[in-house]
């Protein structure tokens, strides 16, 4: 099965080079000035990374993105590594013709920061031939919105087809019901995006937040939330998921089940995807100094809808499962954890049982969606016999 890694589009790198007034092409990274620039930013990236992991509470409370140098290093490294994280979830939404390329796509982004979700979504819309979009960018900090606005001048001019109207406003998600008239009047929105923000918010207000977001959505719209792939942050999102389902939202994706998330049953489980990507040379140069190796893009995501439509219903009527682990190939067998309507279980196939009807199991990768019939439930796992039917129906990165 051919799988295509995600790639940062040239339009983005060109716009980022312009914004940072530094040529990000490989030949410039090896010059004396280039090396000094990368070293300076790598040091700040290390500080951000440490802040977001070790001294999280204090670092987040310091509103780190207000600092101009931090914001620039964040744009250079984190906006780039976050940019592509919206692409696969948006492709999953498109499996059901979610975007009508002939009408204006109306988006609200929450906790915009330097705008990664917005630029990624815009690039995706352009790639599917959408002609018009309207995007409202919101944050608590005016500095972030200003930064996004400056970047937009460099980025938007790269697109010749899609026409985009951007608007900006403050929206404090700690007070989710205090929505400005400007934000309300620009709605309802077809897509809400919220990337790397939930984990900065107090969980006790999640229900209020959900109600408020749902009120801004059009009837067949969706909320896309993306969070880091770490255990704590992923579980934070999974708890939001369970709360949302209790409050009548539908999980469109990644889950193929609506009932409670089985990853929350055990303290040490969580759930995330992983996308192969072509790591840009300037990210590699920073990684080489900081020691962080961003060889793939890992993140947790959740798509909620209020019209009851699910990815599962779009794909197949057969029982569907999401692979929530990598595939482990061992001597006489292969195994992977699959999550579906019946729960989250390790599935095993003995190599001698591989057959025409189940051979896809030998290719399964984390976050592929597959249909399965004829499995055999055992005490601690599920076995796929020779006659089991296993088919990958939505391969991750199987399509551009
Ligand atoms: C880690 S950054 C993520 C930025 C961007 N979405 C991304 O993924 O690159 C978190 C963002 O959430 C914003 N934020 C934090 N608390 C917020 C709140 N209560 N209301 C709105 N935005 C908030 C911060 O200002 C910051 O821009």
**SS3 category, 228:** strand
pLDDT over threshold 60, residue 167: yes
Nearest CA to ligand 1 atom 10: 197
Distance from residue 47's CA to the centre of ligand 1 (Å): 18
Model confidence pLDDT, tens digit, residues 143-166: 999 999 999 999 999 998 899 999
Average pLDDT over residues 198-210: 96
Average pLDDT over residues 34-55: 93
pLDDT of residue 399: 63
Which numbered atom of ligand 1 lies nearest the CA of 193? 6
* Domains of the chain as residue ranges with CATH: 6-313 (3.40.50.150), 317-394 (2.40.50.140)
Residue 111 near ligand 1, beta carbon < 6 Å = yes
pLDDT of residue 54: 83
pLDDT over threshold 60, residue 240: yes
Quote the percentage of the chain above a pLDDT of 90: 89
Residue 225 near ligand 1, beta carbon < 6 Å = no
pLDDT over threshold 90, residue 18: yes
Residue 358 near ligand 1, beta carbon < 6 Å = no
User: What is the best residue among 83, 197, 237 to mutate for testing ligand 1's pocket, by most ligand atoms within 8 Å of CB?
Assistant: 197
Element spanning 249, H or E: none
Nearest CA to ligand 1 atom 14: 111
Distance from residue 147's CA to the centre of ligand 1 (Å): 13
Distance from residue 197's CA to the centre of ligand 1 (Å): 5
For the question of whether the overall pTM of this predicted structure is more than 0.85, the answer is yes
Residue 148 near ligand 1, beta carbon < 6 Å = no
Nearest CA to ligand 1 atom 23: 111
Spell out the alpha helix ranges (H) of the chain: 10-20, 26-29, 32-53, 56-61, 68-74, 80-83, 87-94, 116-127, 142-156, 181-185, 206-215, 231-246, 281-290, 311-315
Residue 82 near ligand 1, beta carbon < 6 Å = yes
| Cβ neighbours of 150 (radius 10 Å) | 14
375 contact partners, CB below 8 Å, separation of at least 6: 347, 382, 383, 384, 385, 388
Residue 113 near ligand 1, beta carbon < 6 Å = yes
CA proximity to 77, closest of 286, 228, 274: 286
Which numbered atom of ligand 1 lies nearest the CA of 226? 8
Distance from residue 18's CA to the centre of ligand 1 (Å): 24
pLDDT over threshold 60, residue 45: yes
Model confidence pLDDT, tens digit, residues 273-293: 999 999 999 999 999 999 988
pLDDT of residue 342: 92
Give the C-alpha separation, 146 to 129, whole Å: 28
Distance from residue 196's CA to the centre of ligand 1 (Å): 7
- Specify the DSSP class assigned to residue 381: S
Residue 233 near ligand 1, beta carbon < 6 Å = no
pLDDT over threshold 70, residue 103: yes
pLDDT of residue 316: 72
Which numbered atom of ligand 1 lies nearest the CA of 174? 19
Q: At 63, is the pLDDT very low, low, confident or very high (cuts 50, 70, 90)? A: confident
Distance from residue 148's CA to the centre of ligand 1 (Å): 12
């Amino acid at each position: 099965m051919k799988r295509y890694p995600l790639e940062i589009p040239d339009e983005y790198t060109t716009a980022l080079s312009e914004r940072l007034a530094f040529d990000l092409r490989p030949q410039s990274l090896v010059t004396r000035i280039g090396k000094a620039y990368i070293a300076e930013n790598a040091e700040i990236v290390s500080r951000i990374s440490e802040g977001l992991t070790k001294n999280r509470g204090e670092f987040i409370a310091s509103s780190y993105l207000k600092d101009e140098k931090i914001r620039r290093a964040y744009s250079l490294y984190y906006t780039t590594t976050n940019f592509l994280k919206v692409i696969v979830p948006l492709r999953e939404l498109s499996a059901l013709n979610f975007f009508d390329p002939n009408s204006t796509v109306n988006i609200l982004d929450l906790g915009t920061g330097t705008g990664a979700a917005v630029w990624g979504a815009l690039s995706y819309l352009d790639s599917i031939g959408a002609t018009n979009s309207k995007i409202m960018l919101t944050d608590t900090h005016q500095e972030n919105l200003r930064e996004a606005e400056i970047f937009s001048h460099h980025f938007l001019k790269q697109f010749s087809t899609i026409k985009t109207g951007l608007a900006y406003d403050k929206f404090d998600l700690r007070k989710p019901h205090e929505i400005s008239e400007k934000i309300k009047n620009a709605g309802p929105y077809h897509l809400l995006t919220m990337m790397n923000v939930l984990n900065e918010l107090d969980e006790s207000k999640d229900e209020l937040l959900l109600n408020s977001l749902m009120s801004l959505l059009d009837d067949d719209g969706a909320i896309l939330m993306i969070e880091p792939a770490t255990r704590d942050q992923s579980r934070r999102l999974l708890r939001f998921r369970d709360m949302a389902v209790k409050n009548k939202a539908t999980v469109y994706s990644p889950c193929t089940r609506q009932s409670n998330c089985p990853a929350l049953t055990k303290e040490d489980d969580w759930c995330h995807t992983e996308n192969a990507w072509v790591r840009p040379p300037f990210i590699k140069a920073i990684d080489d100094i900081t020691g962080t190796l961003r060889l793939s893009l890992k993140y947790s995501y959740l798509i909620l809808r209020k019209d009851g439509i699910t990815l599962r219903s779009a794909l197949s009527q057969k029982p569907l499962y999401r692979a929530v682990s990598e595939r482990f190939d061992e001597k006489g067998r292969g195994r992977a954890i699959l999550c579906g309507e019946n729960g989250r279980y390790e599935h095993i196939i003995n190599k001698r049982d591989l057959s025409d009807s189940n051979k896809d199991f030998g290719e399964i990768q984390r976050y592929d969606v597959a249909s399965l019939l004829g499995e055999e439930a055992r005490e601690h796992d599920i076995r796929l016999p020779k006659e089991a039917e296993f088919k990958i129906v939505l391969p991750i990165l199987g399509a551009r």
